[in-house]
Copies of this chain bind each other. A is one copy, B any other.
C-alpha cells in the first residue's frame, strides 16, 4: 500500500553510539525483532568507539539465532548519521569521570552525600549545566538534518535534557525513556508472589498510572487483573518496613548489581505520602530533604541502599571495555534475548506495529494540568503510528505537587541560566534543592568550586 514506510529500510541514528552499555541493549533488542530492519548509524565524539560498535553490531546479522538483520555504520559527523534517520537515539556521557567525580564527591566535603549525583542535587544541577549546550547542539542538528525523526533520549539528567531539546527546536518529536519505573513494576510482581503466592506475573501484566518527574515518579493507581494493589502494598510495607525487601529483579538486571536496594526508602515514602514511589531508592533519596535518607553514609547504610561512587563507575567501565574487547575478538557473543527495555517496542508502535501505553518523559502540554505548561513530566502515554499522546493526570495530590514543583521550578531556573548566560539563576536553583542543606555563603563556595571544575563545558557563561 502506498504511503507505508519500508519497514525493512529503517534508519536509526545513535548519538553516543560508541556506548558500551545502552548501544548493546539496542543491538540485542533489534536482533530479536523480525518485523523491521535497516541501518543503525553510530555517531560518537569517540569515533573509534563507534567503529568498535559497528564491528560488534555487524557480527550480529551473520548469526543464525538473530532474526532482526541490521547494518551498523559508524559516522564521523553528526549530519551523516542524522540525514534520513527515522529515529534518533541520544545516549551520551556529558564530560568525563573527572567532572563526574567533582559532581558526586566534592559536595561530600560539605556534608552532602549523593547516591547517584546525575539528576538533582548539586551534582545533577552542575551536570545539567554541562549537558544543556550539548543538547542544544544536537537539537539544532536534528532540526537541520532529520526534523521529522522521532527522538528518544536516554541521557541524564533526563528532564533537563528533554527540556533542552524542546527549547532549541520546539517542533521536535522527542521523548525520554528510563527503566526505573519498570523496575518498580517488576518489584510489585514480586510482591504478588511474596504476599499471595502468585508466581510468574510480568510487569506488562500489571496496570499502573505514572505521575511525576524522572527518577521521582509515583504510581497513584496500580492493579492486577482488576485488583487494586494498594491495600496489598500497604500490608507489604508493614511486613518489610524494618528489614527491607530484596527483589529478584534488582539482582538480575544488567545495570543493577550496585544498584539494588531493600526498598526501605520506597516504603517510607509510602507511609508519608500514600503513593507508591516508582524508582530505585538511590534515585528517590536524592529528591528528599538532605538530612533524611542521605544524611551521612551510616544513615544510607541503615536505609539499605548504596552510594554509587565514581570509582565504581570507573571499575564498571573497565569491565565493559573488556567485554567490548571480547565481543570484538569473538571470545564472547552478545546475548540476543530481549533486554526488558522498550525502545524497540516504541519504535515499532510509532511505525504502526502495535499501539500500547507506557511511561515517558515529555513536555507538559496539559497532561498534568496542575503543573506548569512547558515543564518536563513523566506520565503514561499512548503510542501509535507517528504519535505519542500522554494520558491525562489531573488529580495529583497537593503533597506530591509540592515535591515535584520544587524541582520543576529549578529546571526552569537552570534553563533560564543557560539561555541568559547568568549563573545566578542556576545558583538560585542550587540553593532551592532539598539536598543543599547549607547556609547561602557556604552554598556559594561549593557551587563556585563545582562550576570551576566543569567550566570548560560551560560555553554559555563568561567564567573568570
A: residues with CB less than 8 A from B are 1-5, 7, 196, 198, 207, 209, 221, 223-228, 231-232, 268, 272-274, 289, 291-292, 295, 351-353, 355, 357, 365-367, 369-370, 372-373, 380, 382, 384-387, 389-395, 397-399, 401-403, 405-406, 409-410, 412-413, 416, 424-425, 428-429, 431-432, 437-440
With A1-B227, A389-B391 known as contacts, the answer to whether A428 contacts B380 (CB < 8 A) is no
Which chain B residues lie closer than 8 Å to A429 at the CB level? 399, 402
Shortest Cβ gap from A405 to chain B (Å): 5
With A228-B3, A398-B416, A406-B406 as given contacts, are A389 and B392 in contact (CB-CB < 8 Å)? yes
Contact B3 A424 (CB under 8 A): no
A273 and B428: CB pair below 8 A?
Answer: yes
Instruction: State which of B357, B370, B394, B399 has its C-beta within 8 Å of the C-beta of A382.
Output: B357
User: Judging by beta carbons under 8 Å apart, are A5 and B226 in contact?
Assistant: yes
Q: Which of B207, B366, B390, B393 contacts A352 (CB 8 A)?
A: B207
The answer, among B224, B366, B412, for a CB contact under 8 Å with A394, is: B366
Pairs across A and B, CB under 8 Å, 29 listed = A1-B198, A2-B231, A3-B231, A4-B225, A4-B227, A7-B226, A207-B384, A207-B385, A209-B387, A221-B385, A221-B387, A223-B384, A223-B385, A223-B386, A227-B385, A272-B428, A272-B440, A291-B437, A291-B438, A292-B439, A366-B367, A367-B392, A369-B373, A391-B391, A398-B409, A398-B410, A398-B412, A402-B406, A402-B429
Chain B contacts for A226, CB-based, 8 A: 4-5, 7, 351-353, 385-386
A288 to chain B, nearest CB (A): 9
User: In the complex the two chains form, is B409's CB within 8 Å of A401's CB?
Assistant: yes
Distance of A8 from chain B, by nearest CB (Å): 13
Cβ contacts under 8 Å, A7 to chain B: 226
CB-based contact B432/A399 at 8 Å:
yes
Contact partner of A431 (CB less than 8 A), chosen from B272, B291, B373, is B272
CB distance from A32 to the nearest CB of B (A): 20
When the two chains form the complex, which single residue of B198, B272, B386 contacts A228, counting CB atoms closer than 8 Å?
B386
Across-interface contacts of A424 in B (CB, < 8 A) = 274
Stoichiometry, as copies per complex, reads 4
Known contacts A402-B432, A424-B274; A3/B409 CB under 8 A: no
5 other contacts beyond A209-B387, A405-B406, with CB at 8 A cut-off?
Answer: A1-B224, A3-B227, A223-B386, A272-B440, A366-B369
* Closest 4 pairs between A and B when the two form their complex, measured CB to CB: A226-B352, A366-B369, A402-B409, A398-B412
Assess whether B365 is in contact with A392, with CB atoms less than 8 Å apart.
yes
Identify the closest chain B residue to A7 (Cβ): B226
On whether the beta carbons of B413 and A398 are closer than 8 Å, the reply is yes
Cβ of A423 to closest chain B Cβ, rounded Å: 13
Residues in B whose Cβ lies below 8 Å from that of A399: 409, 413, 425, 428-429, 432
Whether the pair B369, A365 counts as a contact (CB closer than 8 A) is yes
Instruction: Give A154 to B282 CA distance when docked, in angstroms.
Output: 46
Instruction: Please give me the residue from chain B that is nearest to A399 by CB atom.
Output: B428
Bound-complex Cα distance A138 to B389 (A): 34
Chain B residue numbers with a CB within 8 Å of A384 are 207, 223
A162 to B224 Cα, complex, angstroms: 30
A402–B405 CB distance below 8 A: yes
Give, as a whole number of angstroms, the nearest-CB distance from A316 to chain B. 32
**A382→B391 contact, CB < 8 A:** yes
CB distance from A210 to the nearest CB of B (A): 11
A384–B196 Cα gap in the complex (Å)? Answer: 22
Q: CA A282 – CA B385 in complex, angstroms?
A: 31
Assuming the contacts A351-B226, A399-B428, A440-B272, asked whether A409 and B413 have C-beta atoms less than 8 A apart, the reply is: no
The docked-state distance in angstroms from the alpha carbon of A207 to that of B401 is: 34
